[in-house]
């Protein structure tokens, strides 16, 4: 017999005494606590005074039938998973029961193991639902306590990023943010601005590689009327628009040498000169820059000015790639699924299946967090059930097999951390193999039962 928590409470509602007795004996032997009711009204009275995890309810009964009971029970917000039973079942009846909130439908006569299997299936669903709720609560907690701006992450690497960014936010110091494409460098910059004394002033961001070189100077510094053909009126540049605020230069490594000289002057003198003007303007702008390039290497190759590099690199914040902080993937996934279920109007999706999550954890994420976000937007669109399943993920992720040691130990060289990950994975596999039976799982793992219970609690594993 599998280990069933004492709190697994089942209400059997049926007008046949023999059926109530049979189900009561069967489910008690399986480890459930069972109460019975002879009709829907008795069941409603019981629901008003106590709570149940599962309800097995017949359709045809005197006083109050099953469908009427379903309707009446909705106002009680009982939280139980309801499974309907009937000897007169039809597709239409089953559909009607599902519409009114039933989880499943069993036709009488049924085999005893059929009832048990349906309950086990309902248990797994409830377990997943509770896990998803817990993850969502954790995401909210993380966003409130250990996030930075719009970024979230519980890994040590990201906590170090958040701590450093939080420290430099209040100072006007120039910051260079480095990291691979898609890691969230602009989000770090936006978070620094939001935590600074300039938060109520403009945050202007520009990608230095997206503006044609012949337009960069006028975009950055603006121009006066008549500065060039077509300049019918004066126009402010981005530096002036960011005055008193923050100017974020993304992909600073793409900036041509001619503009690098002018940017250095702005950093040193805190002034600009619009195109066509003989007058300089004083500005008060904080500069934040980001790049996916190795600027030190670019300096050695004479592709980036050394003096500008030193001036930008007063504080360097390195944002780690996603493959080096895999412990953030479950939290990020929950956040993105919640985001897209709202924006795409898919409230029916409750979370992600374990198989899908295992493949996300095993994948190397060359596109980093941006790639994860795009993958989950696609998955939410394609999902047909209550969970994002493995088949909703792109083929390259589905083909990347989980459980390879080199994959799930990616991002750490710590023996202590590696041991934790291995231990957690082995306990999860043992619990899956024994269908939640902790006694059997402890035997397989060759540890004591109390030790297993303690580890399940420490690693927050559901059984």
The answer on 105 and 237 residing in a single domain is no
Which of 389, 405, 421 represents a domain boundary (last residue)? 405
The answer on 194 and 116 residing in a single domain is no
Note the pLDDT tens digit of each residue in 305-351. Answer: 999 999 999 999 999 999 888 889 988 999 899 999 999 999 889 88
Q: What's 391's domain CATH number?
A: 1.10.8.60
Residue 96 and residue 91: Cα distance in Å, rounded? 9
The answer on 381 and 272 residing in a single domain is no
Residue 367 Ramachandran class (φ > 0 left, ψ -120 to 50 alpha, else beta) = alpha
The answer on 25 and 57 residing in a single domain is yes
Q: What's 447's domain CATH number?
A: 1.10.10
Per-residue pLDDT at 3: 46
Note the pLDDT tens digit of each residue in 144-199. Answer: 445 577 788 888 889 899 999 999 999 999 999 999 999 999 999 999 999 999 99
Domain range spanning residue 394?
323-405
Q: What's 231's domain CATH number?
A: 3.40.50.300
Residue with tokens 């719009």: 150
Answer yes or no: is 84 within a domain: yes
The answer on 216 and 80 residing in a single domain is no
Answer yes or no: is 51 within a domain: yes
Answer yes or no: is 140 within a domain: no
pTM: 0.59
Note the pLDDT tens digit of each residue in 110-126. Answer: 887 888 888 888 888 77
Answer yes or no: is 139 within a domain: no
pLDDT above 50 (res 363): yes
Burial call 248-264: b when 16+ CB within 10 Å, e when fewer: bbbbbbbbeeebbebbb
Answer yes or no: is 2 within a domain: no
Residue 341 and residue 350: Cα distance in Å, rounded? 9
The answer on 248 and 115 residing in a single domain is no
The answer on 332 and 280 residing in a single domain is no
The answer on 206 and 301 residing in a single domain is yes
Give how many domains the chain has, as a whole number.
4
- Least confident residue range of 24-33, 93-102, 243-252, 424-433: 93-102
Answer yes or no: is 254 within a domain: yes
Answer yes or no: is 137 within a domain: no
The answer on 383 and 362 residing in a single domain is yes
pLDDT above 90 (res 428): no
Per-residue pLDDT at 114: 84
Residue 369 and residue 326: Cα distance in Å, rounded? 11
Per-residue pLDDT at 251: 94
Answer yes or no: is 115 within a domain: yes
Nearest Cα neighbor of 318 from 132, 161, 209, 198 is 161
Cβ atoms of residues 231 and 224 within 8 Å: yes
Note the pLDDT tens digit of each residue in 55-86. Answer: 999 888 888 888 889 888 888 878 888 988 88
Which of 297, 320, 343 represents a domain boundary (last residue)? 320
The answer on 308 and 181 residing in a single domain is yes
Mean pLDDT of 213-238: 85
The answer on 288 and 186 residing in a single domain is yes
Residue 253 and residue 420: Cα distance in Å, rounded? 40
The answer on 205 and 96 residing in a single domain is no
Residue 300: both structure tokens together? 């050695």
Q: What's 36's domain CATH number?
A: 3.40.50.2300
């Amino acid at each position: 017999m599998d280990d069933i928590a004492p709190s697994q409470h089942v209400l059997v509602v049926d007008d046949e005494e023999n059926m109530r007795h049979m189900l009561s004996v069967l489910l008690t032997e399986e480890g459930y606590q069972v109460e019975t009711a002879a009709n829907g009204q008795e069941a409603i009275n019981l629901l008003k005074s106590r709570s149940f995890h599962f309800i097995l309810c017949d359709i045809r009964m005197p006083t109050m039938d099953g469908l009427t009971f379903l309707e009446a029970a909705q106002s009680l917000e009982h939280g139980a998973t309801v499974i309907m039973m009937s000897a007169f079942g039809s597709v239409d009846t089953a559909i009607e029961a599902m519409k009114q909130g039933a989880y499943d439908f069993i036709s009488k006569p049924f085999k005893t193991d059929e009832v048990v299997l349906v309950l086990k299936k309902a248990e797994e669903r409830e377990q997943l639902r509770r896990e998803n709720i817990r993850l969502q609560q954790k995401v909210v907690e993380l966003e409130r306590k250990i996030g930075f701006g719009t970024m979230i992450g519980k890994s040590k690497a990201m906590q170090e990023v958040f701590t450093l960014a939080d420290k430099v936010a209040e100072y006007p110091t120039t910051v260079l943010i480095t990291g691979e494409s898609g890691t969230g460098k602009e989000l770090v910059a936006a978070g620094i601005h939001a935590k600074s004394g300039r938060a109520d002033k403009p945050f202007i961001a520009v990608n230095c590689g997206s503006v044609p070189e012949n337009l960069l100077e006028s975009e950055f510094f603006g121009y006066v009327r008549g500065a060039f053909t077509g300049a019918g009126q004066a126009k402010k540049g981005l530096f002036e628009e960011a005055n008193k605020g923050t100017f974020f230069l993304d992909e600073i490594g793409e900036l041509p040498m001619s503009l690098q000289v002018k940017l250095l002057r702005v950093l040193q003198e805190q002034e600009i000169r619009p195109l066509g003007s003989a007058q300089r303007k004083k500005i008060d702008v904080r500069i934040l820059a980001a790049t996916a390039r190795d600027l030190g290497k670019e300096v050695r190759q004479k592709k980036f000015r050394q003096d500008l590099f030193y001036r930008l690199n007063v504080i360097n914040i390195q944002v780690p790639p996603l493959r080096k902080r895999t412990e953030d993937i479950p939290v990020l996934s929950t956040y993105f699924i919640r985001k897209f279920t709202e924006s795409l109007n898919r409230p029916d999706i409750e979370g992600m299946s374990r198989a899908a999550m295992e493949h996300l954890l095993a994948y190397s994420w060359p596109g980093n967090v941006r790639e994860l976000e795009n993958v989950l937007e696609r998955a939410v669109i394609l999902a047909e059930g209550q969970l994002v399943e493995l088949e909703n993920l792109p083929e390259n992720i589905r083909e990347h097999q989980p459980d390879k040691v080199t994959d799930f130990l990616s991002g750490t060289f710590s023996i202590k951390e590696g041991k934790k990950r291995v231990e957690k994975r082995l306990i999860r596999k043992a619990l899956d193999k024994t269908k939640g039976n902790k006694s059997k799982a402890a035997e397989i793992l060759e540890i004591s039962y109390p030790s297993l219970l303690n580890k399940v609690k420490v690693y927050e594993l559901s059984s």
